[in-house]
Amino acid sequence: MALLDGLAARLREIVGAESVITDPAELATYDCDGLTYHRATPGVVVLPDTTEQIAAIVRACAGAGVPYVARGSGTGLSGGALPRTDGVLIVTSRMRRVLEVDAANQRAVVEPGVINLDVTRAARPYGYYFAPDPSSQQVCSIGGNVAENSGGAHCLKYGFTVNHVLACEVVTPDGEIVELTEGPGYDLLGAFVGSEGTLGITTKVTVRLTRLPESVRTLLAGFDSMERAGAAVSAIIADGVVPAAIEMMDALSIEAAEAAVSCGYPPGAGAVLIVELDGPAPEVDVQFERVKELCAEAFELRVAADDVERGLIWRGRKSAFAAVGRISPDYIVQDGVIPRTTLPQVLARIDAISREHGVRVANVFHAGDGNLHPLVLFDGAEAGAGERAEEVSGRILDLCIEHGGSITGEHGVGIDKARHMPRMFTGEDLDTMQMVRCAFDPAGLCNPGKIYPTPRLCGEAPGRRKGVHPLVGSGKADLF
């Protein structure tokens, strides 16, 4: 495509020829993120080293009217970093410097491509860590965490990424470099965190550091059923204990984790709970005894004696998504939220949907905050299997909405759940959100096609709808 060829030449001037990829074989490396079911080969990939280069790239794209998508490590599970065949993929993986650890002020300043766990590695010698801990923390980037407002097992107590970001340097869609901070006026930083790469590209992030806890106690409880494990979760929360994490896995996900990492979870368990408490030692000790009492229905309770045993307990859970690859060639990692109290009904319905469609579903949860991760298993080589899995996945999201929950807890909407947005929000709600987007990106070039079902029908201006589009009115087109 001549337009992209011309743009690639300009990008080479900005970042150097070795940092622009146009070779089809190399481009294929970037054709999907963690949502592998959706693929698109990017038109051009560019690997900048600096904020100024990103600003120049964005200006070049804006000048040429070419869409672009930011990508960190590509581990996103909702297709947020799915490239455009007619666009540029801006990959931040070369921007991996921890620029400053300011322990006295409990903050660190990092480039967007820095790996989540590397922030903790840099802060630990000072007695601090970065609290948001997605299970992908060994590989995912801070830029991706900011864009998705990522969570993790310990976000029940410590909050999501948004609670740990103090400022973002951002390249806006017109190529300006701005600083979004907490402070008086509109909370633009709050709007930016979780905007899934649609409001600009973050090039530097100031994160909050959290003091390492004095004491951490972890237990693994094996239950014979999900119902019993779920009842223990409700009892713990009702008792007023706020664990750092409560994670639950069902029999199928235990089987997968066992096959992948031999985590040695209680054999024959219908469900396992991992409960972790942290904080001052005397408080943790008292609460830990109480949690053990509340898990009385467990047929096996294991308490981690040291960090090695703690690591072993967490290994099965942290590897759960990837582990499913051991028991199924393909799978969709779904992410929905329900009120904790509805867990038994929702699980029973997921089971019924799974049987009805003949599609296996493994369940892993951040049980404390009702964040489900159903893993919908299928074999992409089998005709129609992918479509059936998508159908099951969609029905599970409908179930979450029906029970007063949400279509995403932490993985974002991306391309995967855009079609479900109108089931959760009214047309007015969606228009209002799109107006925020238009305020940042009037030309609609920054990660278009994500979050919203159909941006607008062809020929419609961005902004509030002025009435029914003539094509919809005449029955020739549908809005999702």
- CA dist 18 and 33 (Å) reads 23
Q: Whose Cβ is closer to ligand FAD: residue 258's or residue 351's?
A: 258
Residues present in the chain in total:
480
The nearest distance, CB 218 to ligand FAD, in angstroms, is 17
The nearest distance, CB 326 to ligand FAD, in angstroms, is 13
**Pair of tokens at residue 91:** 């990959």
**Pair of tokens at residue 363:** 């369940």
Q: Which residue has the tokens 């410590």?
A: 158
Helix (H, G, I), strand (E, B) or coil at 88: strand
Q: Whose Cβ is closer to ligand FAD: residue 68's or residue 288's?
A: 68
Contact predicate 394/417, CB 8 Å: no
The nearest distance, CB 309 to ligand FAD, in angstroms, is 22
Q: Whose Cβ is closer to ligand FAD: residue 284's or residue 373's?
A: 373
Q: Whose Cβ is closer to ligand FAD: residue 21's or residue 295's?
A: 21
Binding site for ligand FAD (CB under 6 A): 33-34, 69-77, 80-81, 92, 112, 134-136, 140-141, 143-145, 147-148, 150-152, 196-197, 201-202, 321-322, 410-411, 447
The nearest distance, CB 140 to ligand FAD, in angstroms, is 4
The nearest distance, CB 268 to ligand FAD, in angstroms, is 26
Q: Whose Cβ is closer to ligand FAD: residue 175's or residue 344's?
A: 175
Residue 369 CA from chain centroid, whole number: 15
Of residues 47, 25, 42, 54, the one with CA closest to residue 83? 42
The nearest distance, CB 62 to ligand FAD, in angstroms, is 16
The nearest distance, CB 388 to ligand FAD, in angstroms, is 22
- CA dist 421 and 450 (Å) reads 11
- CA dist 399 and 357 (Å) reads 15
Q: Which pairing describes strands 210-211 and 128-129: parallel, antiparallel, or unpaired?
A: antiparallel
Task: Quote the DSSP letter at residue 360.
Answer: -
Residue with smallest beta-carbon separation from ligand FAD? 144
Q: Whose Cβ is closer to ligand FAD: residue 266's or residue 336's?
A: 336
Q: Whose Cβ is closer to ligand FAD: residue 266's or residue 412's?
A: 412
Residue 191 CA from chain centroid, whole number: 16
For residue 59, CA distances in Å to 177, 300, 392, 446 come to 11, 60, 42, 11
